Amino acid sequence: MCGIAGFLRLDSNPPDSDLLARMTRAIYHRGPDADGYYTDGPVALGHRRLSIIDLSGGAQPMSNEDETVWIVFNGEIFNFQALRTELEAKGHKFKTRSDTECIVHLYEDYGTGCAERLVGQFAFAIWDARRRSLYIARDHVGIKPLFYHLDDSKLLFASEPKAILEDESVERELDPDALIDYLVCKYVPAPGTIFKSIRKLPAGHWLLLRDGKLRIERFWDLPLAEPRAWKSEEDCARQLEELIRSSVKSQLMSDVPLGAFLSGGIDSSIVVGIMAGLVNRPVKTFTIGFQEEEFSEAPFARKVAERYHTEHHELIVEPESVDLFPRIVQQFDEPFADASAIPTYYVSRLARQHVTVALSGDGGDEAFGGYVRYQWALRYGLFDFLPQSVRSPIFRAVAAMLPEGRFRRASRRFAMHRIPRYAQLAGHLDGPSLQGLLAGDLRAAAMRRQEFATTCDVARRAQNVDYLTQLQYIDVNTYLPDDILVKTDRMSMLNSLEVRVPLLDHRVLEFATSIPPDWRLAKRIFKRAAGHLLPPELLHRPKMGFGVPLRYWFRGNWGDYARDLLLGQRARERGLLDPAAVRGLLERQSDERGGVTSNLYAIVVLEEWCRQYLDQPQSARSG
């Protein structure tokens, strides 16, 4: 687990070694153990290393035998031993025990097709001196990040935007569409970023720059074929357990201390249960809790820790974390309003005091239909057999006759098309609410856009499958790579901790799509496959999620901080948000009328981000 950065000049100017050093230094936290640099003609490659495998011999940048192919790599390849055996049989010579070297030789044989052969979490850049080309790839699901900037003179790439922003010629102009997407989704979906000048390489894609021409192609997507005809649930569950166990086992490889996040939910508990059966020492487990019991799963995590006799560590997060908030905002480099980043930071910091690698249960909900919103979406789809032209006016009329409350809200949702309905259930901001929050040109731009545009665009790629699979496809292509995995990557890397996600082995996701939807929903088959690893009270309790008690925190110093930030002169002069709408959110929050906490948190993040990235000079942010 590391950080990479670099650039390829497209003009006659030589690489700027000072820029490469600044870019690499900006992501020091991703790899504090060592740095490395390589330049050749127009290309410059930089690397920050967090040593995990082959501690003495895995330094990067790394090359093939004749130094015509060079790589910088962030991540882990879990099938590298099998690949190494195959490559050695073909005559390739290895100088190290590192998984990085396998990618170099795999590229020599398969070119741009090499990413398809990898099992792991990765982002890497390969300079091919013979072809004078730069090849960049990002893993199937988007566990590892990759950003780039392209103009007439150069392509820059890095693990985090802050490294690209070290080049002062890269403009910091806001992308209005990205800002609107952020307020709708609470994150900026790929391939955009908050900056017009910087892009994300989407999950499962590679990029090739040769002869000044840029080519981007997708090498993996979640399969959308018909489910398999299984002999029985038992047969399906047995094969699933074997696959998950194999994934966990492959991800235990490490030359440094290793542990696991233990939230108290089903996914992380199953990962810990499998780990405990595969290692010959107590698993080190790490849990975050809250004083507010309704948000804390720590008691359930303790039960799992007791069952498997883990070396358990627990921390209760206090509302004083507002003092940490500006640092968290800075780490994301663009507005990011998933408040569970706060406990993710704390659990990563706690884990890093004891281990260098931690396994996580991320991905179980997306793979196995665990979100409660999937169940609600299916219930609201009860009348979707009626044409939209018939259903919508009927239920809008019903809603108009009902008093404000849950029955009226339900009638409105019955009237909606099923994709915007799902976006609303996922907590996305609808058109009228968004337009009321924005000011000036941004409001006009929002009025011209399709409501829930990002969700609808992705849904169109999965029109010919059942509704549940379509919803999971949406999340695997948006919420998972652009929220869940971003949060885990930035907060763990801020603490120089590697996090691995065995439930997001792409083969596990492919297997999950072969399971009939009714077996998948609410993790039915997942629980059958691995439920024997859990205490019964954990297996059948309602899902909590990784919630944060923000509404309580906003009653204290968070509320004071939000008012000072949002009602200050700088925020008013910025002109992005409607001042009356902002005051309304603050008043509703202080009156405890509810329903506004996530939106309030999003605009607090936005204003704090603007102050750091738009109001301060680059030198101040870098310091």
Catalytic residues: 2
According to DSSP, residue 496 is labeled T
281 with 564: CB under 8 angstroms? no
Of 40, 241, 234, the C-alpha closest to 127 is: 40
Sign of the four-CA dihedral 444, 449, 453, 454: negative
The torsion angles phi and psi of 256, rounded to 5 degrees, stand at -135, 165
106 with 58: CB under 8 angstroms? no
Cα distance between residue 24 and residue 48, in whole Å: 7
Q: Is 79 helix (H, G, I), strand (E, B) or coil?
A: coil
DSSP 106-138: HHHHHGGGGGGG--EEEEEEEEETTTTEEEEEE
Which residues, in sequence order, are bridge partners of residue 311? 284
Cα distance between residue 457 and residue 524, in whole Å: 29
Task: Please compute Rg for the chain using Cα positions.
Answer: 24
Tokens of 375: 């169940």
Specify burial of residue 461 (Cβ count, 10 A radius: 0-12, 13-18, 19+): middle
The CA–CA distances, whole Å, from 623 to 26, 171, 411 equal 9, 20, 53
264: CB partners within 8 A, 6+ apart: 287, 297, 298, 299, 300, 301, 302, 303, 304, 538, 544
DSSP 521-558: GGGHHHHHHHGGGS-HHHHSSPP--S---HHHHTTTHH
Cα distance between residue 439 and residue 162, in whole Å: 28
DSSP 318-329: PGGGGGTHHHHH
Which residues, in sequence order, are bridge partners of residue 517? none
Cα distance between residue 278 and residue 280, in whole Å: 7
Q: At 312, which helix (H) or strand (E)?
A: strand 311-317
Tokens of 167: 């080049």
∠ Cα 146 149 154 (to 5°): 125
Cα distance between residue 111 and residue 93, in whole Å: 18
Cα distance between residue 473 and residue 4, in whole Å: 29
The torsion angles phi and psi of 3, rounded to 5 degrees, stand at -130, 140
388 with 437: CB under 8 angstroms? no
